[in-house]
Structure 1
Amino acid sequence: MEAKPCDLMTAAPPYGHVLCSEKWTDSALVRALRGGGLKILFEKELHVADFLLPNKSSILYVSECDIIAGSSYKRKLVRYRNASNSFQELVLVERTGLSEQYFSALQRFVVLELGLPLLPVGGQAEASQLISQMIQADGRENIFRKSSCRLLDPLVLTLVQQIPGVGRVKALTLLQNFSSIQQLCSAAPEELEPMVGQTLAQQIHSFFH
C-alpha cells in the first residue's frame, strides 16, 4: 500500500536518509547529499515541504529564482506554516547578490510574521552541507531527542550556532533562556548581554535585524 501524504508527514525517514520532493531529482543539492554518503528517497507527495530529515525536521527551500520571480512564494510559505504535521519546520533561503535586496523583507515575513526559523544559504552546495550537519548532529546528540523543550534539539542548536561568534556553549546558554526562536530574534542587546557579553549581544541583535 502506498503512503498517503498525511502518513508521510508523521513518520521520519531512517537515520542516514533524506526524503525529498521529486522536483529535486536532478538537482546539485541532491547530488551533493549523495556524495556525502546520505541515501535519498524521492516522493511525489510531501505536501509543501521540500525535504524531511530523520530528526523529524522538514525544510522548505526558497531559491534565488523564487525570490526574484515575485511574491508568489509567500503563499507557499503560509501553506507550509499552516500545514498540520509533527515535524519541526525550517526555511532555507538563498541569499545571493541578486536576492540580497529582497532578503530583509523576506526575513521579516518568515521570522516575525510567520514565526518560522529562517537560515540563509549561499546556494545548494551550502544547503547540502547544512542538511548533512543536522543529520550528523541528530545521530550524535541523543540527549536532545524527544526533549520536552522544542528548542533543545539538534536542528535549532545548529541554527543558533550559525550566528557569527556563537559556539555550542553560548548557543545552549541562549536556548536555555529564551523560550522560542522568535523570542531570541526579538531580544534587545541588553537582554542578551548578561549571557554572552556586550560585544556578542550586539552581534546577535545585528544578525537578526
Structure 2
Amino acid sequence: MSSMTTKESTPVRAGAAAVPYGHAIVSEKWRGSELVQQLQGKIKLVFEENLGLVDFHLPNRICVLYISETDLVSGNGFKRRLVRFRNASNLHGIVITEKTRLSEQYFPPIQKFIVLELGMTLLPVASQSEASQLIIQLVREQSKEHESNPFLRKRRSHLMETSVLQTVQQIPGVGKVKALQLLQQFPNIYQLSNASIQQLELVVGRVLAQQIYTFLTQAK
C-alpha cells in the first residue's frame, strides 16, 4: 500500500491510551485495507476518524505506527512523523516496517534511527498480512497477561523483548549472550544508549565497552 496521509494537528489522540483488552482502535484511513481485513474476526476493531500520527492504538498504552515500503523507498519524510510522536507522547511506540526486497537496503539505518535514537520498538514485516499477525499477537499478549493477574504491572510483550534483543545484537562485537547480559543491566535502549564506558565495562569488559560506547554515541 502506498503511504497514507492524514491531518496531524493532534499528534496523539487524547484518551486513546485506555483501549479495552482484546480491542484495537484503528485509524479510519486503514478501513478496507488488506491489513484490516486480516484483523477482522480475530480482535475487536473500533475505527476513529483522526488518530493523528498513530495508525493503531492497542491496550496498555501501546501505539503502532506503520511505515510502508513506499515510505522507506521515497525518502526520509516518515522520520519527522516518528520524531513528532516520540516528542509528543509518553505512550509506548511500536513501529511496524515493511522490509521487502525493494526496501531492505534502507533497513539498517532505519533500524538504528528508530531503536537506538528514538528508543522505539521496531518490528519488520514482509507484508500487511504479516503485520496483521503481529498486531493480533500484541493484543492477545496484553489480554492474556491481564487475565492471568490484572493487579500485576504489565510486562513488556515477548515481541517487544525480541525486537530489543535483536537490535542490541546489531552492535558490532555483541552476540546473543552479550546482548542478554547488557539488557539485564540496562533494561531498555534508552538506558543502554546513555550508559557510560565505565558502566558498560562492568558488564562486557573494557574493549567491547569502548566499541559499544562509540557505536551508540555515533547513533545519537
- Same fold, TM exceeding 0.5? yes
User: Aligned ranges for residues 121-160 of structure 1 at < 5 Å?
Assistant: 121-142=125-146, 143=149, 147=153, 152-154=155-157, 157-160=158-161
1:94 touches 1:123 (CA, 8 Å); kept in 2?
yes
Tell me the equivalent position of 1:48: 53
Secondary structure of the 2:101 match is coil
**Take 1:107 and 1:186, find their aligned partners in 2: how far apart are those partners?**
18
Q: How many residues align?
A: 178
Shift of 1:144: 8.3
| 2:91 equivalent in structure 1 | 87
Q: Tell me which of 11, 14, 18 is aligned to 1:7.
A: 14
Q: What stretches of structure 1 of length at least 5 have no aligned partner? A: 165-170, 193-209
Which of 59, 79, 103 matches 2:107?
Answer: 103
Give me the whole-angstrom Cα distance separating, in 2, the residues matched to 1:94 and 1:42: 23
* Structure 1 residue matching 2:46: 3-state secondary structure: strand
Q: Which residue does 2:63 correspond to in 1?
A: 58
Number of the residue aligned with 1:199: none
**Distance in 1 of aligned mates of 2:137 and 2:151:** 16
Match of 1:181 in 2: 189
Residue number among 34, 53, 67 corresponding to 2:40 in the alignment? 34
Aligned residue in 2 for 1:78: 83
Equivalent pair of 2:69/2:98 in contact (CA under 8 Å)? yes
Residue pair 2:67, 2:98 contacting (<8 A) in 1 also: yes
The answer (yes or no) to whether the contact 1:144–1:153 under 8 Å persists in 2 is no
Distance 1:136 1:21, change over 3 A: same
Unpaired segments ≥5 residues, structure 2:
1-9, 167-178, 205-220
Q: Offset of 1:49 from its aligned partner?
A: 0.7
Identical counterparts, % of pairs: 45
What secondary structure does 1:58 align onto?
strand
Work out whether residues 15 and 139 of structure 1, in 8 Å CA contact, stay in contact via their aligned partners in 2: yes
Partners of 1:177 and 1:38 in 2: CA distance: 36
Change (3 A) 1:126 1:174: farther
Once the two structures are TM-superposed, the CA of residue 179 in structure 1 deviates from its matched residue by 2.4
Task: For residue 53 of structure 2, give the secondary structure of its aligned residue in structure 1.
Answer: coil
Q: Distance in 2 between matches of 1:50 and 1:12?
A: 16
| In 2: Cα distance, 1:120 partner to 1:113 partner | 17
Distance 2:134 2:126 in 1: 11
What's 1:117 paired with? 121
Deviation of the 1:182 alpha carbon: 4.2
